[in-house]
Structure 1
């Protein structure tokens, strides 16, 4: 089938970036409580909060916080 035009998209390259909308599951109750306490102390300084929660990045925590506290019911 030679002569097919417009098929230059590589689907496999985008498969790595799919989890960007969904926060990493598995935040424990302790992590949730700690995030809430630290947020009340320092606000949206996600890197400071992440520094107190081993194995979590600032981006993960921010996504978790925003998804948990979204107003879309």
Structure 2
């Protein structure tokens, strides 16, 4: 094999790669409580009982809410 055709690959340090991904911080917005009115809470509860963790489907029934908001509300209120 011709030595001139080989390219040197930089070595990756698995410890550095792990520590950089492990040190990512969670935004405080992610842990902010989602405030919903009673009608929204009731709908989320009933929809979850019917369809489970299909947050996109549930959010589609509540104008102005995202799947992430619905999931965060559920986890903070019911823990699962």
Instruction: Kindly report which structure 2 residues correspond to 1:50-69, keeping only aligned pairs within 5 A, or say none.
Output: 50-69=59-78
* TM-score (ref. length: structure 1): 0.68
For structure 2, list consecutive stretches of 5 or more residues without a partner in the other structure: 1-26
Figure out how many residues of one structure are paired with residues of the other and give that number. Answer: 54
Matches of 2:44 and 2:53, distance apart in 1: 10
Matches of 1:24 and 1:66, distance apart in 2: 10
Instruction: Kindly report which structure 2 residues correspond to 1:1-73, keeping only aligned pairs within 5 A, or say none.
Output: 17-25=27-35, 27-70=36-79
For structure 1, list consecutive stretches of 5 or more residues without a partner in the other structure: 1-16
Report runs of 4+ in structure 1 exceeding 2 Å deviation. Answer: none
* TM-score (ref. length: structure 2): 0.62
Question: Which structure's CA Rg is the greater one?
Answer: 2
Q: What RMSD in Å do the two structures reach over aligned CA positions?
A: 1.5
Residue 70 of structure 1 deviates from its aligned partner by 2.2
